[in-house]
Structure 1
Amino acid sequence: MRHEEILQAIYDPANRANPYPLFAELRRVPVSWQEGGPSSEGTFVVSTYREIDAILHDPRISSDLRKGEHTAALSGPPPNAFIQLDAPEHDRLRRLTMRHFGPPDRPNYVGQLVPQIQRVTRALVDDLEGERRFDLVARVSYSLPVALICAILGVPRDDQAKFHVWADTMARTAGRLTPEPRAEFNAANVAMREYLGGLVELRRRTPSDDLLSRMANEGGPDGRMNEPDLLATMTLLLVAGHETTTNLIANGMLTLLRHPEALARLRREPKLVVGTVEEVLRYDPPVQLLTNRTPLTDVTVGDVTIPKGVLVTLALAAGSRDPARFREPDRFVPDREDNAHFGFGSGTHYCFGAPLARLEAQIALTELVQRLDRPRLVVDPPPYREGPLLRGPRELFIEVDEVRSAGGREWLAA
Structure 2
Amino acid sequence: MRADELSMPFDEEFLADPHAGYAKLRAEAPVHRIRAPDGSPVWLVTRYADVKACLADPRLSVDKTNSRGHGYKGFELPPALDRNLMNMDAPDHTRLRKLVSKAFTPRYLAEMHERVQLVADALIDAIVPRGQADLVRSYALPLPAMVVCDMLGVPDHDREEFRGWVLDLFAPDSSEPVRAKEKLRSAVGKMQQFFVRLVAAKRKKPGPDLLSQWVLLRDEGDGLSEDELTSLAFLTVIAGYENPVNTISIGVWTLLQRPDLAADLRDEPGQLASVVDELLRHDGPLPLAVRRFPLADIEIGGVRIPTGETVMLGIMSANRDPAQFSEPDLFDVQRTDNRHLSFGHGIHYCLGAALARITAQVALGTVLRRFPDLRLADPAAAPRWRQSFRSRGLAELPVRFSPASLK
Place the TM-score, normalised by the shorter chain, in its bin. Answer: 0.7 to 0.9
Instruction: Say if 1:70 and 1:311, in contact at 8 Å, map to a contact too.
Output: no
Q: What stretches of structure 2 of length at least 5 have no aligned partner?
A: 173-177
| Equivalent pair of 1:291/1:311 in contact (CA under 8 Å) | no
Alignment of 1:104-183 (within 5 A): 107-171=106-170
- Measure, in 2, the Cα distance between the counterparts of 1:159 and 1:393: 28
Query: Could you tell me which amino acid in structure 2 is paired with residue 399 of structure 1?
Result: R
Kindly tell me: are residues 338 and 250 of structure 1, through their superposed partners in 2, closer, same or farther at Cα, counting changes over 3 Å?
Answer: same
Q: Distance in 1 between matches of 2:3 and 2:385?
A: 25
**Residue pairs, 1:3-402, within 5 angstroms:** 8-10=8-10, 12=12, 16=15, 18-28=17-27, 29-34=29-34, 36-70=35-69, 75-78=76-79, 79-102=82-105, 107-171=106-170, 186-221=185-220, 223-378=222-377, 380-402=381-403
Contact 2:6/2:33 (<8 A) preserved: no
- Opposite residue 26 of structure 1, the aligned amino acid is L
* Local SS of the residue matching 1:45: strand
Q: Over residues 32-76 of structure 1, what are the superposed CA-to-partner deviations in whole Å (9 max), with x where a residue is unaligned?
A: 111x22542210000010000010111111111211123796754
Tell me how far apart the structure 1 counterparts of residues 190 and 62 of structure 2 sit (CA, whole Å): 24
Instruction: Check conservation: 1:171, 1:387, Cα contact below 8 A.
Output: no
What letter is aligned with 1:250?
Answer: S
Q: Deviations 1:84-114 (Å, cap 9, x if unpaired)?
A: 1101111111122212223xxxx43212332
* Displacement of 1:158: 4.3
CA distance in 2, matches of 1:331, 1:15: 20
Change (3 A) 1:2 1:32: closer
Aligned partners of 2:5 and 2:32 also within 8 Å: no
CA distance in 1, matches of 2:94, 2:86: 10
**1:102-160, Cα deviation, whole Å (9 max, x unpaired):** 3xxxx432123322222222232222222211011222222222222211210134434
Give, as a single letter, the amino acid of the residue that structure 1 aligns with 2:33: W
Query: Which sections of structure 1, spanning at least 5 residues, go unmatched?
Result: 174-178, 408-414
On the 8 A contact 2:10/2:388 being kept in 1, the answer is no
Count how many residue pairs are aligned between Structure 1 and Structure 2: 396
Structure 1 pair 32/16, CA: closer, same or farther in 2 (3 Å)? closer
State the match for 2:175 in structure 1. none
- C-alpha separation in 2, matches of 1:64 and 1:170: 22
* Alpha-carbon distance, 1:383 to partner: 3.1
Q: What is the distance in 2 between the residues matched to 1:283 and 1:49?
A: 13
Q: 3-state SS of the aligned residue for 2:39?
A: coil
Shift of 1:261: 2.8
- Mean alpha-carbon deviation: is it higher for 245-254 or for 266-275? 266-275
User: Do the aligned partners of residues 3 and 32 (structure 1) sit closer, same or farther apart at CA in structure 2, a change above 3 Å counting?
Assistant: closer
Which letter does structure 2 place at the counterpart of 1:92? R
Q: CA deviation at 1:382?
A: 3.5
Distance (whole Å) between structure 1 residues aligned to residue 56 and residue 210 of structure 2: 30
TM-score (norm 2): 0.88
Task: Please say which of residues 389-398 and 354-363 is displaced more in the overlay.
Answer: 389-398
Read off the aligned partner of 1:10 and give its amino acid letter.
F
Between stretches 373-382 and 341-350, larger displacement belongs to: 373-382
Structure 2: distance between partners of 1:398 and 1:4? 45
Q: Cα gap change, 1:381/1:70 in structure 2, threshold over 3 Å: closer, same or farther?
A: farther
* SS across alignment from 1:25: helix
Q: Are residues 280 and 386 of structure 1, via their aligned partners in 2, closer, same or farther at CA, if it must alter by over 3 Å?
A: closer
Change (3 A) 1:331 1:148: same
The match for 1:411 is none
Instruction: Tell me the secondary structure at the aligned position of residue 117 of structure 2.
Output: helix
One-letter identity of the residue aligned with 1:308: T
Q: Distance in 1 between matches of 2:396 and 2:100?
A: 32
Q: CA separation in 2, counterparts of 1:144 and 1:91?
A: 31
Change over 3 Å in CA distance of 1:222–1:234 after alignment to 2: farther
Structure 2 distance, partners of 1:296, 1:10, is 27
TM-score by length of 1: 0.86
Q: Equivalent pairs: percent with the same residue?
A: 34
Equivalent residues of 1:371, 1:404 under 8 A apart: no
Q: Tell me how far 1:171 sits from its aligned partner.
A: 3.7
CA shift, 1:181, in A, is 8.5
Q: Secondary structure at the match of 1:292?
A: coil
Secondary structure in structure 2 of the residue aligned to 1:313: strand
Partner SS state of residue 389, structure 1: coil
**Residues 134 and 396 of structure 2 are in contact (CA less than 8 Å); yes or no, is this contact kept in structure 1?**
yes
Question: Conserved in 2, the CA contact under 8 Å of 1:251 and 1:393?
Answer: yes
Post-superposition shift, 1:234? 0.6
Q: For 1:110, what is the secondary structure of its paired residue?
A: helix
Range with greater deviation from structure 2 (301-310 or 179-188): 179-188
